[in-house]
Structure 1
């Protein structure tokens, strides 16, 4: 498969919709050190779990608005009344476990930030601040998880985070640019 064939491959996830292509070309795999963006990606990964990334992108603005403009402290302070309201909010994925995970993770993030200073410092310390780059000849060979994601997942769970399994964390680390698994086709 050459670059032109890859660009046309309908089952390669960025080629499924213009939204996905734009995200892949402008955000995915780009190293990010912005705490708000890193938290947003975590929230979006939770909301997309078991669904599609395309749906998460379509609801991105609504998710941000529904969750207090992704203000960690405001989300961490949410209680049962706010949860009930969120479960009625059509701008998000109305799943009680996912909503609870976002709130739980905001609380865990407060503790993490007290220790590490920033989410950025924590996320990037696993790789010594260096992006892990993987080059694959065929997109069918892209891994669904990685040893790095396994490590991050275990550590985050130990810190009280939920909905942070190895597959979700692998996707998260790719989105944040900690891992860049680009398909590079030669010939």
Structure 2
């Protein structure tokens, strides 16, 4: 029997996310913005709840078109809150607009949001080799640094714990347990 991370807990949506997306390096600004939004939406909730609403978020925010999201009005956000299958927390929904605007500023300065983020790890993912999930930290010195830097740039819902989850989500760090078939070392060997 293959050993794998246990956190998907048999849920098909969680398992698909674990197998296909979690800790896989991404360089696409739109996708990175989507994961930043979803991780921020998770604050105080379970990841399973957030994933169950992902399609609603994609529909409401035009598949995370950054320029579109930056132009949303208060009325637009209220409509999204009332009419779409999203988490109904207005400050979290407002953060989509705020964070989109911050990303546009970063794109102007760094070329892409991806380039801005990947410079924290010199373009190379941090590959951890945990034996069990209990060893995985909730935050690190690097997630605290990135969180602080994002907050200085007006990002919202980017505390150090959320930022660490975001780092995992976009593959800046690989926190699959060492024996998991989806750990970077095991994926490389399987090719």
TM-score, normalised on structure 2?
A: 0.89
* Separation in structure 2 between the aligned mates of residue 75 and residue 171 of structure 1, nearest angstrom: 22
- What are the equivalent positions in structure 2 for 1:32-47 lying under 5 Å apart? 32-47=26-41
Q: Pick from 9, 13, 28 the counterpart of residue 7 of structure 2.
A: 13
Consecutive aligned runs of 4 or more in structure 1 exceeding 2 Å deviation: none
Q: CA deviation at 1:137?
A: 1.0
Tell me, yes or no, if the aligned pair for 1:132 and 1:179 is still in contact at 8 Å: yes
2:80 aligns with: 86
Q: CA deviation at 1:185?
A: 4.3
For residue 73 of structure 1, give the secondary structure of its aligned residue in structure 2: helix
2:178 aligns with: 184
* Separation in structure 2 between the aligned mates of residue 15 and residue 127 of structure 1, nearest angstrom: 30
Tell me, yes or no, if the aligned pair for 1:152 and 1:169 is still in contact at 8 Å: yes
* Separation in structure 1 between the aligned mates of residue 15 and residue 9 of structure 2, nearest angstrom: 6
Query: What are the superposed Cα offsets for residues 60-80 of structure 1, whole Å, 9 maximum, x if unpaired?
Result: 111011113211111111112
TM-score, normalised on structure 1?
A: 0.90
Unaligned runs of 5+ in 1: none
Unaligned runs of 5+ in 2: 181-191
1:48 aligns with: 42
For residue 136 of structure 1, give the secondary structure of its aligned residue in structure 2: coil
Alignment RMSD, CA only? 1.7
Equivalences, count? 180
- What are the equivalent positions in structure 2 for 1:26-37 lying under 5 Å apart? 26-37=20-31
Tell me, yes or no, if the aligned pair for 2:57 and 2:84 is still in contact at 8 Å: no
2:186 aligns with: none
